[in-house]
Amino acid sequence: MRFSQYQEEEIGISLTPLIDVVFLLLIFFMVSTTFSKESQLNLRLPTSDLPLETTLEEQVIVISISEQGQYVLKRGSDSSTKKFNGSDAAELSEQLLALASGWEDPVVIIRADRMASHQSVMTALDAAQRVGLLKLTFSMQKQH
């Protein structure tokens, strides 16, 4: 009777998948890394020649931001407005919550003066996010 000899198979680790994973991680970190040289950038803000889009939705909240950082809040097609002179996102979010009451998911349009500070716009974005208003858009002026 012949007994077959048990042949041990060579156990080896294939390095090809490991190398692939390492290269993918390397590419991910290279792409996601940001380099701060903001002080050396010369920025020209974009303008648009595209036709202005008008929103047909009735559930719209418009946040207008003046050059001095004053906020004017308007709900839909109502002619009444609310003024807000502070810079606290928590207070502004309370105002937005009051305006959004009764609506399911309104669109927030931010109309900021081109000389308004970046902080004023970020405060408006922060206030909208605190309330859960995630449909945000920015108003623009058509280039003449």
Mean pLDDT of successive 10-residue stretches along the chain, which has 144 residues: 71 87 93 62 47 63 84 80 80 88 87 83 90 84 61
Supply the pTM of this predicted model. Answer: 0.58
Is residue 12 a part of any domain in this protein?
no
Q: Contact, 132 vs 99, CB < 8 A?
A: no
75 domain residue, yes or no: yes
Cα-Cα end-to-end distance for the chain: 98
Dmax over CA atoms of the chain, in Å, equals 102
Which structural domain, as residue segments, surrounds residue 93?
Answer: 60-138
In a domain, 66, yes or no: yes
Residue 116 lies in a domain: yes
Q: From CA 108, how far away is CA 59, in angstroms rounded?
A: 9
Q: Classify residue 54: in a domain, yes or no.
A: no
| Res 19: pLDDT | 93
Residue 26 lies in a domain: no
- Inside any domain, residue 78: yes
Looking up residue 81, the CATH number of its domain turns out to be 3.30.420.270
Q: Is residue 99 part of a domain?
A: yes
Cα 66 to Cα 26: distance, rounded to the nearest angstrom:
45
| Number of domains, the chain | 1
Cα 139 from Cα 121, distance rounded (Å) = 12
| Residue 142 pLDDT | 62
